């Protein structure tokens, strides 16, 4: 890979985004308020890479709805999917999965489910695999059809805990099995050690950097603790507030705090940063 000193011209922008509570509103899952910035990003030819806890079937529907064609990261970094439009990219460690080349960073779902079932004998936890489509729909606000897609797991298991004070003990038990627990906007998530949004973002950035001679300048959006690795992996991190206006406790160099929750805050932060970049005021991390 060429180093920055060898690259010529300004680096090209690559955008990563969480979905729930970030690009999508927490309550109604709408992205409409972000339409202006999304159009701007599309017009400028900037790849927008979804990086979410959602499953591949869920992301496929959202990409189609928004009109995205770039690669995407599912289940908190469990898998990176490059569509056919990126066939000229050199993607090491990938396997063909349907219409994609996939880099599987996580471990198979069957192993995750086995742990959750065993842990449930000691801790009052319920994973998506324990829930009906109707229960997932009720807990998430998704339609039954959408909830069925949310249950189509490949790398991770979202779950709820009856007693939050049991979390440290559950985390210790998971670590002994080579697994980790993280917290998202609505659920806890159980996954393998290699399953990490930050690692997936770094991998995608490195792949683009090999292809783009100018180099990559990355921007990322997130709102919850399981987005922290994503935000730490990009040059320009953007933290979205929750619906009550409060922010997660995160302090990063160059961190931008969006002014509003959900898609409205996403839109305003993206528009402002891109405008500043084109005016020559590049925002990035300083160390």
**CB hemisphere CA count around 7 (13 angstroms):** 17
pLDDT > 90: percent of the chain = 84
Catalytic residues: 18
pLDDT at 282: 53
Are the beta carbons of 53 and 157 closer than 8 angstroms?
Answer: no
Q: How confident is the model at residue 44 (pLDDT cuts 50, 70, 90)?
A: very high
Q: Cβ neighbours of residue 83 under 8 Å, at least 6 residues apart? A: 69, 70, 71, 99, 100
Q: Quote the CA–CA distance of 273 and 217 in Å, as a whole number.
A: 12
- The answer on pLDDT for 286 being more than 80 is no
Q: Quote the CA–CA distance of 250 and 273 in Å, as a whole number.
A: 19
Q: What is the mean pLDDT of residues 82-93?
A: 91
Start and end residues for every CATH 3.40.50.1000 domain found in the chain: 4-105+196-278
Q: Cβ neighbours of residue 41 under 8 Å, at least 6 residues apart? A: 15, 48, 270, 274
According to CATH, the topology of domain 4-105+196-278 is Rossmann fold (3.40.50)
- The answer on pLDDT for 1 being more than 90 is no
Are the beta carbons of 239 and 231 closer than 8 angstroms?
Answer: yes
Q: How confident is the model at residue 137 (pLDDT cuts 50, 70, 90)?
A: very high
Strand residue runs (E) in the chain: 12-17, 48-51, 72-74, 79-83, 95-97, 100-104, 125-127, 157-161, 179-183, 188-192, 216-222, 236-239, 256-257
Cα separations (Å) of 161 from 135, 170, 184? 15, 10, 13
Q: Quote the CA–CA distance of 173 and 169 in Å, as a whole number.
A: 6
- The answer on pLDDT for 112 being more than 90 is yes
109-192 CATH: 3.30.980.20
pLDDT at 160: 94
Please state the pTM of the whole predicted model.
0.88
Start and end residues for every CATH 3.30.980.20 domain found in the chain: 109-192
- Tens of pLDDT along 159-214? 999 888 999 999 999 999 999 998 877 899 999 987 889 999 999 999 999 999 99
């Amino acid at each position: 890979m060429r180093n920055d000193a060898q690259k010529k011209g300004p680096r090209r922008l690559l955008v990563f985004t969480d979905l729930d509570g970030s690009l999508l509103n927490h309550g109604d899952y709408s992205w409409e308020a972000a339409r202006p910035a999304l159009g701007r990003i599309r017009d400028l030819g900037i790849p927008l890479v979804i990086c979410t806890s959602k499953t591949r079937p869920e992301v496929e529907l959202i990409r189609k709805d928004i009109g995205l064609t770039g690669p995407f990261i599912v289940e908190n970094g469990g898998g990176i999917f490059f569509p056919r439009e990126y066939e000229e990219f050199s993607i090491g460690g990938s396997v063909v999965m349907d219409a994609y080349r996939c880099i599987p960073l996580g471990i198979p779902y069957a192993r995750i489910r086995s742990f959750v079932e065993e842990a449930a004998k000691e801790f009052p936890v319920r994973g998506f695999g324990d829930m009906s489509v109707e229960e997932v729909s009720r807990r998430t606000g998704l339609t039954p059809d959408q909830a069925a897609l949310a249950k189509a797991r490949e790398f991770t298991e979202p779950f709820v805990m009856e007693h939050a004070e049991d979390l440290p003990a559950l985390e210790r038990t998971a670590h002994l099995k080579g697994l980790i627990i993280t917290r998202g906007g609505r659920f806890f998530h159980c996954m393998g050690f290699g399953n990490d949004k930050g690692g997936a973002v770094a991998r995608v950035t490195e792949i683009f950097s090999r292809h783009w001679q100018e180099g990559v300048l990355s921007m990322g959006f997130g709102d919850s603790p399981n987005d922290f690795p994503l935000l730490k992996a990009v040059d320009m991190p953007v933290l979205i507030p929750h619906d009550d206006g409060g922010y997660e406790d995160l302090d990063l160099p160059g961190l931008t705090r969006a002014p509003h929750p959900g898609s409205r805050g996403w839109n305003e932060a993206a528009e402002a940063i891109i405008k500043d970049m084109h005016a020559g005021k590049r925002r990035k991390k300083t160390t």
